[in-house]
Amino acid sequence: MFGLSMKTIYLLIPLSPLAGAIIAGLFGWKIGKVGAHVVTILGVTVSFVLSAFVVLPDVLAGHVFNGPVYTWGVSGNIPMEIGFLIDPLSALMMTVVSFVSLMVHIYTIGYMRDDPGYQRFFSYIALFTFSMLILVMSNNFLQLFFGWEAVGVMSYLLIGFWFTRESAIVANLKAFLVNRIGDFGFILGIAAIYYYFGTLDYGAVFAMAPQFTDKVVQVFPGLDWNVLTLIAILLFVGAMGKSAQVPLHVWLPDSMEGPTPISALIHAATMVTAGVFMVARMSPLYELSETALSVVIVIGAVTAISMALLGIVQNDIKRVVAYSTLSQLGYMMVALGASAYAAGIFHLMTHAFFKALLFLAAGSVIIALHHEQDMRKMGGLKKYMPITFITAWIGALALAGIPPFAGFFSKDMIIEAVHLSQVPGSGFAYIAVLSGVFVTALYTFRMLFLTFEGKPRMDEHALRHVKESPWVVTVPLILLAIPSFIIGALMVEPLLFENYFGDSIKVLAAHDVVAQLGRQYEGLWSFVSHALVSAPFLLAVGGIFTAWLLYIRYPHLPDLISKRTRMVYTILVNKYFADEFNNFVFAGGTRIFGRWLWKIGDVKLIDGLAVNGTARVIGWISAVIRHVQSGYVYHYAFAMILGLFLLITFFLHG
């Protein structure tokens, strides 16, 4: 295109948002608000257009690129490079990331209109886009970690964007530190790969991996672990941090303190799915370790169901969507654990669209109500905000998994895949994801009904000012609603059953549940008609019906239920007391221990006893010795006589 080589195009895709970010960040004061959003949107548009209309078709035509950009460093003769791997998996991710990012950029013009940090915000989200693209385009573990940490930092900066709010700066520190716990495992996983494989290049590592199936490492004396299991689990710890899996999920709900556009972009559509992407990218490693797959599926299943339950009791509209994201990330992990990587990535994609949509719709409501997020003060908004209302419905139907909306296909595929999976833990996971369907539909429609249906519960003043959001907000909603509607039906066949991913995802024949599904699959229409009588669909409809009963038909019921089930309700409202536990045990415990080491170890023992003690002992000895030099002649005379006496004794008896 335009006579550019493909390599130049690959470079342009991440670098154009970077250029936008630098210009908006350093010269934002000069180019003004319009200048800032123009340069960054231009940059992201370039990324999107090139990804979707140049790279994606090129990859579909069978051109895979894997090559270095520059050598980062060499140590011990092993070069570490920065480079790109452009294959179906990365091309799909690039397209999704740049599209959602572009929508969020446009939306931000409306959402952040009056914010004094306007230019800074655009600079950050463009820089985030750059980081995320670097992450997905990487062909090696080093660059993966670069992107991984860079998106983490951008998330940190954006959660704390309103840095005068105490809740925001607590949340961003928490997010960064919890992610760092994940990265702690991740970097050890990378170190393990470097040690055993002697390279950080994906291709080389994947090619060698099958030779390592019998290799063990002694973790403790007497406890040997398979090397690949160790590596896969260490890497997964990183994924648990980034993709907020239990018990490292605690940062994500709090990240809602950031402005809504980034909740949509970073904490729903893109960054939090990095863990899912990473595990799918590492499928050649995970496939070789049943134990690791089992860990993935169990952690994913626990996250999917436990976080969905929390969504039911939240009153903050953004937090409902946040818990929903946690739960859906659990679904994706379950798919990966069942070796249905394609289904996991498929759900990642559909989720990116409909979840970004739901967040932006929530944001649209929030601005209409002047930054009110409590659903108890909403209601009846459908007639004031028709576009937001309709697009939110589409998002909700997609999330609940109602055919033919996008989420239906991807979620159904996951459930079917888990059903077929033989991995230890898949039985539990099946129950979890199945019951999760009911809960998902329930909290989704609870949110929808509380917000848009019923009587308005906000005060008179707020109600008078409610109006539909400007076009910069509604256009992205519409543009996201379209894929939320159709992308599932459109992509289910090519992505899952026509070998779209090719060599970018490897599945052992014994694990290949997607292929088994493919053999049962008899075209779109029969798939949908089968699904209409299947358990997931009935559960989803049941969930919606329950929500209708509770929040429209008998609105006094929820209070009654929560009073009757006091204990369950308390546990859910307090989010299983995970924050309290962490604050008390980890944050508090570490500080107490640190203070103890300082006051006892450094101040008392080393300085007090060893250093000043030595000084004191020397002082004391000199004080004693000083007495000997009294200056009195008879003292010296006595000492001489004593010495003489001792010497004579020594010589006589010696």
Closest CA to 269 of 249, 246, 243: 243
- Which tokens is 176 given? 């960064």
Residue among 519, 487, 511 nearest 340 (CA):
511
Q: Specify the residue, 112 or 168, whose C-beta has the smaller distance to other proteins.
A: 168
**DSSP 8-state code for residue 184:** H
Residue closer to other proteins, measured from CB, 28 or 536: 28
CA angle, corner 647, sides to 644 and 652, nearest 5?
Answer: 125
Q: Which two tokens stand for residue 637?
A: 């005379």
State the nearest-atom distance from the C-beta of 163 to other proteins, in Å.
4
Q: Which is nearer to other proteins, 75 or 629 (CB)?
A: 75
Is 483 in contact with 406 (CB distance < 8 Å)? yes
Separation of alpha carbons 348 and 280, rounded Å: 11
The nearest distance, CB 173 to other proteins, in angstroms, is 5
Taking alpha carbons only, the member of 39, 138, 35 closest to residue 83 is 138
Chain residues that interact with other proteins, rule: CB under 8 A: 70-77, 145-146, 149-150, 153, 156-157, 160, 163-164, 166, 169-170, 173, 176-177, 180-181, 183-184, 187-188, 190-192, 194-195, 217, 219, 590-591, 593-595, 597-598, 601-602, 606-607, 610-611
Give the shortest CB-222-to-other proteins separation in angstroms: 15
CB of 265 to other proteins, least distance (A): 21
Residue 176 or 359 having the CB closest to other proteins:
176
Find the shortest distance in angstroms from Cβ 177 to other proteins. 6
Please, which residue, 38 or 153, has the CB nearer to other proteins? 153
Q: How far is CA 95 from the centre of its chain?
A: 19
404 prior amide bond cis, ω within 30:
yes
Beta bridge partners of 67: 84
Q: Taking the CA of residue 598 as centre, how many other CA atoms within 13 Å lie in the half-sphere pointing to its CB?
A: 6
Tokens of residue 564, six digits: 């009757």
Q: How far is the CB of 194 from other proteins (least distance, A)?
A: 5
- Alpha-carbon distance of 540 to 396, in angstroms, equals 11
Minimum distance, C-beta of residue 366 to other proteins, in the bound complex (Å): 23
Least CB distance from residue 290 to other proteins, whole Å? 22
Nearer to other proteins, 100 or 175 (CB): 175
Q: What tokens were used for 310?
A: 């929390």
Q: Which of 401, 170, 215, 406 is nearest to 308 (CA)?
A: 401
Rounded to whole angstroms, what are the CA distances from 626 to 7, 70, 623, 630? 83, 72, 5, 7
Compute the residue count for the chain: 654
> Does the CA dihedral 326-328-334-337 come out positive or negative?
negative
Q: In whole angstroms, how close is the CB of 140 to other proteins at the nearest point?
A: 13
Nearer to other proteins, 186 or 537 (CB): 186
Q: Which is closer to other proteins, CB of 498 or CB of 607?
A: 607
560 vs 617, which CB is nearer to other proteins?
617
